[in-house]
Structure 1
């Protein structure tokens, strides 16, 4: 594969996840009450009910960190060819998706969980591309 094409694909995947998680994190901050109420209702009938406030803050921080690292990492990688920040951002993205997937499965939102699978595949593929480049 042409090295410049590989870099382009890696950066596009990073930018995709930066948009995904920065928007999601920002939405959770700007619409905190509505989002927290939604999370509380999702876990209302599960063993995670009492942990839902902590889970909400945790996923907010994880998503926001993933988005920030993917966005700054994409730009930094484009300018310097140093990929560590972007790789960590992609790894946090995948961890965020696995956490969301687990929560949706526990809440029995099987359709929502299934909807995360393409994102997870893309994130793992992005990480894989960095392994192949080095």
Structure 2
């Protein structure tokens, strides 16, 4: 495993597992905040379903990151690492779409900062 792969997968696993954990622990707070955030969009009545979708993708990306590290250390394969980067990229694109839809351009810019390493992983792996 290259240091880049190990560091990238660690970054993605930490990012998405922590974010997913936060959504589980403070589900109601997240739903209430997002209802206000998307109050002027077509998502205003779909926030819990959208949040559940994002939560599932974040947990999948984080778990794939951990599994990708283990897989690579055991048999030098990067299949799960690649899946992690793809699922991470899709998740971040959905989050970016939501931020743009809500006209939260600063939030969208922040998402791009996370998207760049994920896309580099898709390219590299």
Q: When the two structures are superposed, what TM-score results if normalisation uses the length of structure 2?
A: 0.95
Report the number of matched residues.
125
Report the equivalent of 1:118.
113
Q: How far is 1:78 from its partner?
A: 2.0
Gaps of 5+ in 2: none
Q: Equivalents in 2 of 1:49, 1:35: separation in Å?
A: 13
RMSD value, Cα: 1.1
* 2:89 pairs with 1:94: yes
Equivalent positions of 1:1-134 (< 5 A) are 7-130=2-125
Offset from partner CA, 1:90-114 (integer Å, 9 cap, x none):
1110011000000000001000001
Q: How far is 1:22 from its partner?
A: 0.2
Paired residue secondary structure (1:28): helix
Q: Which contiguous aligned blocks of 4+ residues in structure 1 show a shift greater than 2 angstroms?
A: none
Tell me which structure has the larger Cα radius of gyration. 1
Gaps of 5+ in 1: none
Contact preservation (8 Å) 1:11, 1:78: no
Q: How far is 1:37 from its partner?
A: 1.1
